[in-house]
Amino acid sequence: MVNKREAERKKLAKQKAMEKRRGYKSTKSDEESVDSKAELEKQINEASAIEKPEILQHATITGHRTSQYLAKDIKIEQFSMIIEGKEYIKDTTLELNMGRRYGMIGLNGSGKSTILQALAARLVDIPDYVDIWLLHEEYPPSEQTALEAVISYVATEQKRLEALMMDIMENHPENIDL
């Protein structure tokens, strides 16, 4: 299997050949950008990789995706989760729609976090092109309802990510393709 760095080098070699035909000469910084892109992509992948939490080591999670592979909306039928003999959810249809953010509200110990962790760890068939971000921390006590707190947190996180995106675009234009 060809790794990503090799693929980037081949792509750069192909670009050089095309540019040579057009009269453009590539520089060493072009080659270095391949290494920096590969390194940045590796860091992004490591940061977004979600390990299987301890509680899920003893879990049986089943379900099968009934939506087509490249569908924007994901549908998982007969979703069940059993941990150490306790059934938390049984034969449920789970639908994840593009552009939506999801949270769960319920009693302590009812399995909300565990279900979200199982989805984030992709213990059911969720395609890699679907982005999953799991917030691990608890929201501090406030006068807001749970829904208001989630909306407020998401708005703050969206602003932070937009600022990060602008920083990357302004200060690291060579990494925009990632």
- 70 or 30, which is more confident: 70
- Contact of 26 with 15, CB cutoff 8 Å: yes
The most confident of the ranges 11-20, 53-62, 86-95, 117-126 is: 86-95
The token pair at 2 is 């060809």
Strand partners, 96: 74
The pTM for the full model equals 0.49
- 22 or 85, which is more confident: 85
The pLDDT of residue 9 is 65
Spatial distance between the Cα atoms of 168 and 160, rounded to a whole number of angstroms: 12
The pLDDT of residue 1 is 43
The pLDDT of residue 2 is 47
The token pair at 122 is 């992709």
Q: What is the domain partition of the chain in residue ranges?
A: 4-49, 54-136
